[in-house]
Amino acid sequence: MSQNKSFFPKESEIPKEMLLAQPIEQKEYLVNGGLKIWEGAVQEVFSPVYINTDSEIKRKRLGSIPILGEKESFEALDAAKQAYDLGRGIWPTMPVKKRIEHMLKFTKMMKEQKSIVVKLLMWEIGKTYKDSEKEFDRTVEYIFDTIEALKNLDRDNSRIEKKNEIYAQIRRGPLGITVCMGPYNYPLNETFALLIPALIMGNVVIFKPAKHGVLLINPLLNAFKESFPKGVINIIYGPGKDTIAKLMESGKIDVFSFIGSSKIANVLKKAHPKPNRLRAVLGLEAKNPAIVLQDADLELSVNECILGSLSFNGQRCTALKIIFVHEKIVDAFNALYLEKLAKLKMGMPWEDGVMITPLPEPDKPAYLKELIDDAVNKGAKVINKNGGEINESFVHPAVLYPVSSEMRIYHEEQFGPVIPILSFKNISEPIQYMVDSNYGQQVSIFGTNSQQLAELIDPLVNQVCRVNINCQCQRGPDMFPFNGRKDSAEGTLSVFDALRVFSIRTMVAGKEIDVNKKILTEIIEGRKSNFLSTDYIL
Ligand code: G3H
């Protein structure tokens, strides 16, 4: 590991508006509608950005968070149980219109915290300031879109149906006590893509933030506390094995929603003693390939592959994590990729136009080095200048070529700035790669011949869940389904689908007999039930 101290800034060189006023020493956690003060051990939080003092460089300290354990997790569970009250609680039985009002109040208060949340996002995970802002705005938009989708759903369900002399009203009801855990690369957006639909459908939630990107939830604690009835949202901190694992073992969790690695998801899911009670909503890892065909537009393909493999340093589940290029154009592709890579700005996340920034996981540089060394030992070369050079938390992107199936990088999800490229002669080679892979999220194909693309689309849509033509893989727009096959996901997320995965169709039905007609009419006209109701929201 080389150490180039001058790569990292002196405190005085950081723009004032990007600095945090002071470290956040968080003691609070949210349980049963109150912010409880934790007096026990805390975990210090450091940025991936180092600060260059005259004598040394060290990670910028951002503050500290509570290390809660089993006792506090069960406090949260008890609060959630009371709030849900076997489905009879205020929140699960509340009319949709009222739940939306609570959500709007939360969103208003959340927006007031934008500036500090965005800065914390940037400092905690090294995401560029611009992308941190985008993540915040996208999340707010996601909430508004969710509200609109729910209104539509509610309107569709606000009627009595009749079939074979049976009257029925069918709605979507909550599932119960829901655990939400998001990933560190989108600690706000992806976490909220679980949390918001879970809440708005009437579930009660225990939320544990990701391993990095934890402090950014702190400015939102009050908004959660003020906006929802007590016990509906509980926020806890601490190691998974002492918190969420214990809750799962209790068998009292109804929904496990998690975005992260399949390894952790499997451990937590298996800890639950009642597998049929538990619903799982999972977004897991992926190894999305790019396939660049012989007739591909080189300029466009390289631009998209750069974005796909290196946006947020390759730390996206949707990132392009292996690139197959037709042997006839691989030299030209590599040359152009390296030319464009050399122009990418590397530096601190607040700098204008910066693309490659320090990595938040302390052990990631060493892991990436292992992958690079393994590939080089087995015949690949690092083909770009300075590729793989490590400067503390910063890893200079490494382009590996030619990669082969004996190498770890061919199989493992690097989740970082290492770009494996290999050439193919026959299209069956990348297809076989996808068939053999444990993952099945997306693929990007680059080419111009519609016949050839059509022949590829048909087999590929049954290997993955999104075939991207002449563009990188991505989750958005959030209205589109986001899911995966095999070890990549369970359940489908999108604004629309998330409302479904966090709820279940449930109905009230009765035979068409006079006494039932009278009862239904009295309940509906007298507005005696929130469920059995033809009121609709405009
Ligand atoms: O980490 C995986 C994210 O869902 C990717 O989302 O494609 O919008 O960056 P994105």
Residue 37 has a pLDDT of 98
Distance in Å, CA 387 to ligand 1 centroid: 25
Q: What does the pLDDT look like over 194-214, one tens digit per residue? A: 999 999 999 999 999 999 999
Residue 6 has a pLDDT of 86
Distance in Å, CA 167 to ligand 1 centroid: 43
Pocket test of ligand 1: the residue of 131, 318, 321, 471 to mutate, having most ligand atoms within 8 Å of its CB, is 318
Helix axes 330-342, 298-310, angle to 10 degrees: 60
Residue 321 has a pLDDT of 98
Ligand 1 atom nearest the C-alpha of 475 is 7
Distance in Å, CA 316 to ligand 1 centroid: 5
- The set of residues, in sequence order, having a beta carbon less than 8 Å from that of 303 and lying 6+ positions away, is 340
Pocket test of ligand 1: the residue of 128, 139, 186 to mutate, having most ligand atoms within 8 Å of its CB, is 186
Peptide bond preceding 273: is omega within 30 degrees of 0, i.e. cis?
no
Ligand 1 atom nearest the C-alpha of 186 is 1
Distance in Å, CA 186 to ligand 1 centroid: 8
Distance in Å, CA 478 to ligand 1 centroid: 10
Instruction: Using alpha carbons only, give the angle 448, 452, 454 rounded to the nearest 5 degrees.
Output: 100
Distance between CA 323 and CA 309 in Å, rounded?
Answer: 9
Distance between CA 493 and CA 480 in Å, rounded?
Answer: 8
Pocket test of ligand 1: the residue of 475, 483, 493, 497 to mutate, having most ligand atoms within 8 Å of its CB, is 475
Distance in Å, CA 262 to ligand 1 centroid: 16
- Indicate the DSSP class of residue 10: P
Residue 1 has a pLDDT of 54
Distance in Å, CA 34 to ligand 1 centroid: 33
Residue 372 has a pLDDT of 98
The residue type of 266 is N
Residue 62 has a pLDDT of 98
Residue 536 has a pLDDT of 86
Ligand 1 atom nearest the C-alpha of 476 is 8
Instruction: Using alpha carbons only, give the angle 7, 367, 194 rounded to the nearest 5 degrees.
Output: 95
Residue 137 has a pLDDT of 98
Residue 102 has a pLDDT of 98
Question: Which residue has the least CA distance to atom 2 on ligand 1?
Answer: 317
Pocket test of ligand 1: the residue of 317, 444, 468 to mutate, having most ligand atoms within 8 Å of its CB, is 317
Distance in Å, CA 74 to ligand 1 centroid: 32
* Helix and strand counts by DSSP (H, E) for the chain: 17, 27
Output the ligand 1 site: residues, CB below 6 A.
185-186, 190, 316-318, 474-476
Question: Which residue has the least CA distance to atom 6 on ligand 1?
Answer: 475
Pocket test of ligand 1: the residue of 473, 474, 492, 497 to mutate, having most ligand atoms within 8 Å of its CB, is 474
Distance in Å, CA 191 to ligand 1 centroid: 12
Helix (H, G, I), strand (E, B) or coil at 447: coil
Compute how many other C-beta atoms are within 10 angstroms of the C-beta atom of residue 121: 26
pTM assigned to the model: 0.96
Distance in Å, CA 181 to ligand 1 centroid: 16
pLDDT by 10s per residue, the chain, length 538: 556 778 999 999 999 999 999 999 999 999 999 999 999 999 999 999 999 998 899 999 999 999 999 999 999 999 999 999 999 999 999 999 999 999 999 999 999 999 999 999 999 999 999 999 999 999 999 999 999 999 999 999 999 999 999 999 999 999 999 999 999 999 999 999 999 999 999 999 999 999 999 999 999 999 999 999 999 999 999 999 999 999 999 999 999 999 999 999 999 999 999 999 999 999 999 999 999 999 999 999 999 999 999 999 999 999 999 999 999 999 999 999 999 999 999 999 999 999 999 999 999 999 999 999 999 999 999 999 999 999 999 999 999 999 999 999 999 999 999 999 999 999 999 999 999 999 999 999 999 999 999 999 999 999 999 999 999 999 999 999 999 999 999 999 999 999 999 999 999 999 999 999 999 999 999 999 999 999 988 8
Q: Would the CA dihedral through 512, 514, 515, 519 be positive or negative?
A: positive
Ligand 1 atom nearest the C-alpha of 138 is 8
How much is the CA Rg of the chain, to the nearest whole Å?
A: 25
CB 509 within 8 A of CB 521: no
Distance in Å, CA 474 to ligand 1 centroid: 6
Ligand 1 atom nearest the C-alpha of 183 is 1
The residue type of 331 is D
Helix (H, G, I), strand (E, B) or coil at 367: helix
Compute how many other C-beta atoms are within 10 angstroms of the C-beta atom of residue 477: 12
Tokens of 451: 């016949």
Strand-by-strand arrangement of the 42-52 sheet: 24-25, 57-66, 42-52
Residue 113 sits at φ, ψ, to 5 deg, of -100, 10
Question: Which residue has the least CA distance to atom 7 on ligand 1?
Answer: 474
Question: Which residue has the least CA distance to atom 8 on ligand 1?
Answer: 475
Distance between CA 68 and CA 244 in Å, rounded?
Answer: 11
Ligand 1 atom nearest the C-alpha of 315 is 1
In 416-512, beta strands by DSSP E:
418-424, 439-440, 442-446, 466-469, 485-486, 489-490, 503-511
Distance in Å, CA 138 to ligand 1 centroid: 12
| Helices within 412-513 (DSSP H only) | 428-436, 450-460, 495-501
For the chain, how far is it from start to end, CA to CA, in angstroms? 61
